[in-house]
């Protein structure tokens, strides 16, 4: 999705704030986003704010708290009263304490899962110069290279980095990880051939370049083929059992009453059931998906165990 479209989505969410007053005067619900305004994560939060505010009878205010790999936003919510703020998260909320021992929180005990919002598949993409048209050929090519192949990621410990580590571990190949500042830089590195592959969220810019033949999409990382790219096979079709799916969701600080968590979860589900909301998510290559607190909690535990193993086996740390 282009930047002007993200701004338009954010504006639609902001419009939903107008006139959303609760029966008790002055009640405000805050969504804390660990990234800067204008990105996909910010757009999702603002898009949901309008309809969720209507359901909850509250004014929804989205606050952006970027920095420190999400730690600033997380600490903001942990320091607030239980239930006062919701943290909009992805897998980073689990991996940060595994990589940074002084993070100061345990994601499984200090945070309460509320609801998932969306799932997103990573796409295994290679530069057009790589002589591989499928996963098996890429693995064979990597094994033929004395030093392996190089791959771009948005930083050590990012979801793209850890997914690539898992791919290398599963395939038995050597991948040299090349970190960049963000997704814009990783995409540019792949397009110019500075790196040979990346396993990351497929942006519209990269997909358009794939249609022109400058990069190739070999597979998606989900357990099943993506409805957004139904003709693209999964990595698991070549490497049985391989699966990694990104997700976004709301969490609250521990101590938030269960009935309040349930209210937030129901409001999230109702917002995601709106066709216009789902269409805008699809335009951002996101699959709207609302799992409630219990199912989200089970998913967090499974993801935490998976990331713990990847990080331990890969001997990954942040210096």
pLDDT for position 26: 40
Do residues 79 and 228 both lie within one domain? no
pLDDT for position 295: 97
pLDDT for position 249: 97
pLDDT for position 180: 84
Residue 319 included in any domain: no
CATH number, domain of 227, equals 3.40.190.10
Q: Which two tokens stand for residue 37?
A: 């305004």
Residue 40 included in any domain: yes
Do residues 112 and 42 both lie within one domain? yes
**Residue ending a domain, choose from 181, 207, 237:** 237
Do residues 170 and 258 both lie within one domain? no
Residue 225 included in any domain: yes
Number of helices (H), then strands (E), belonging to the chain: the values are: 11, 11
Residue 318 included in any domain: no
**Residue ending a domain, choose from 237, 270, 294:** 237
pLDDT for position 137: 98
> Model confidence over 32-49: pLDDT tens digits?
998 888 878 889 999 999
Do residues 130 and 227 both lie within one domain? yes
* Spatial distance between the Cα atoms of 131 and 235, rounded to a whole number of angstroms: 17
Q: Which is it for the CA torsion 32, 71, 181, 244, positive or negative?
A: negative
Residue 180 included in any domain: yes
CATH number, domain of 289, equals 3.40.190.150
Residue 36 included in any domain: yes
Using CB atoms within 10 A of its CB, is residue 266 exposed (0-12), middle (13-18) or buried (19+)?
middle
Spans of the chain below 70 pLDDT: 1-26, 319
**Residue ending a domain, choose from 237, 264, 288:** 237
* Structural domain boundaries, residue 85: 3-119+246-313
- Report DSSP state, residue 237: G
Total count of domains within the chain: 2
pLDDT for position 319: 56
Q: Which two tokens stand for residue 289?
A: 């998906």
Do residues 33 and 107 both lie within one domain? yes
The strand pair at 197-200 and 123-127 is best described as antiparallel
Do residues 149 and 219 both lie within one domain? yes
Do residues 171 and 142 both lie within one domain? yes
Query: Rounded to two decimals, what is the model's pTM?
Result: 0.78
Do residues 232 and 138 both lie within one domain? yes
pLDDT for position 40: 81
pLDDT for position 10: 47
């Amino acid at each position: 999705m282009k930047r002007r479209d993200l701004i338009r989505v954010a504006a639609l969410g902001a419009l939903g704030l107008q006139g959303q007053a609760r029966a008790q005067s002055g009640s405000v619900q805050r969504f804390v986003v660990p990234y800067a305004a204008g990105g996909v994560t910010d757009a999702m939060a603002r898009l949901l704010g309008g309809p969720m505010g209507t359901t909850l009878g509250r004014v929804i205010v989205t606050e952006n708290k970027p920095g420190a790999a999400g730690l600033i936003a997380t600490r903001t919510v942990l320091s607030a009263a239980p239930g006062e703020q919701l943290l909009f998260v992805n897998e980073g909320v689990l991996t940060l304490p595994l990589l940074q021992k002084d993070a100061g929180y345990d994601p499984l005990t200090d945070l309460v899962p509320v609801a998932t919002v969306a799932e997103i598949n990573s796409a295994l993409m290679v530069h057009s110069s790589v002589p591989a048209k499928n996963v098996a050929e890429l693995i064979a090519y990597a094994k033929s290279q004395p030093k392996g192949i190089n791959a771009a990621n948005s930083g050590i410990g990012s979801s793209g980095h850890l997914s690539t580590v898992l791919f290398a571990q599963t395939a038995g190949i050597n991948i040299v990880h090349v970190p960049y500042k963000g997704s814009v830089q990783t995409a540019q590195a792949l397009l110019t051939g500075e790196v040979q592959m990346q396993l990351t969220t497929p942006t519209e810019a990269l997909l358009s370049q794939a249609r022109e033949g400058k990069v190739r999409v070999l597979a998606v990382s989900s357990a099943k083929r993506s409805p957004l790219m139904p003709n693209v096979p999964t990595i698991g079709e070549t490497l049985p059992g391989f699966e990694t799916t990104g997700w976004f969701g709301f969490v609250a600080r521990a101590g938030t009453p269960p009935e309040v968590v349930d209210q937030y979860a129901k409001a999230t589900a109702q917002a995601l059931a709106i066709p216009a909301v789902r269409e805008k998510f699809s335009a951002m290559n996101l699959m709207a998906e609302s799992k409630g607190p219990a199912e989200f909690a089970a998913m967090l535990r499974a993801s935490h165990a998976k990331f713990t193993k990847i990080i331990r086996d890969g001997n990954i740390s942040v210096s």
